Amino acid sequence: MGKSNDDPMDKEMMKNLVKYVIGKPFPRKHTIMDVDGVYGIRVFSPSQILESTNGTNNNTRLLITFQNRENCKIFASKEAPGFWKSTPKRKSIFDANKRHIGNIKISWYYYYNVDDGRDKSASRLRKSEWQIREYYLTSKYLPQNKVERKNVLLTLMIKTKAANNNNNNNNNDKSDDKMQRIILDKQEIMQCLQL
């Protein structure tokens, strides 16, 4: 299992997800997206998500999708400008009684630097400033008779500071958190998502 995370923003997102799954309205500005059952949000680039969703600023989006998280795969295509790549660790969220509510999977958007007209290659792969945080509940947290909405995945897309491109295709995911910091502090992100 992933490591525990006491981040208040993540706990708040998970709490809102629980309310939504049991049938209550979602309390923050969001967009419900109809997505592919296998690739989900990963089919879309950050600019496509920004263009097709509602938000209060250009640095954050909150999306709700309905898909089985176990089926989620990386979407990479020769026609696509890039792809979302997950970090190997999941972050676990626990309630006040130390019960495991769910997990967060973090992905970064990678793109190919082909401005000079050259072909896509691994050496031209760059990490962007876009991150998605996918929140999902464990199947054991809520009794099945209380679940009104199944297979809900809550996704927060945020823009971070410019990526450190000196590592090129090193893909050292262990240093992701050290290399990049979120532009907006977490309170500002939460304010941006208010109704």
- Model pLDDT for residues 16-35, shown as the tens digit of each residue: 999 999 999 988 888 888 77
43: left (phi over 0), alpha (psi -120 to 50) or beta: alpha
Question: What strand order describes the sheet that includes 152-159?
Answer: 3-4, 82-94, 100-112, 125-137, 152-159, 60-66, 31-32
Q: What is the pLDDT of residue 77?
A: 62
Q: How confident is the model at residue 42 (pLDDT cuts 50, 70, 90)?
A: confident
Q: What is the pLDDT of residue 166?
A: 44
DSSP class of residue 175?
G
Across 166-183, average pLDDT: 44
Across 97-112, average pLDDT: 91
H/E element, 48: helix 46-52
- Picking from 75, 104, 100, the residue whose alpha carbon sits closest to that of residue 89 is 104
Evaluate if residue 183 carries a pLDDT over 70: no
Q: What is the pLDDT of residue 16?
A: 92
Judge contact between 17 and 134, C-beta under 8 A: no
Per-residue pLDDT tens digits for 124-150: 788 899 999 999 999 899 999 999 998
Give the tokens for residue 175: 């240093």
- Picking from 118, 145, 127, 132, the residue whose alpha carbon sits closest to that of residue 64 is 132
Evaluate if residue 74 carries a pLDDT over 80: no
Evaluate if residue 99 carries a pLDDT over 80: yes
| 15 vs 38 pLDDT, higher one | 15
Across 60-87, average pLDDT: 75
Across 140-163, average pLDDT: 86
H/E element, 11: helix 8-21
Judge contact between 52 and 119, C-beta under 8 A: no
Beta bridge partner(s), residue 66:
152
Q: What is the pLDDT of residue 131?
A: 93
Q: What is the pLDDT of residue 142?
A: 92
| 6 vs 134 pLDDT, higher one | 134
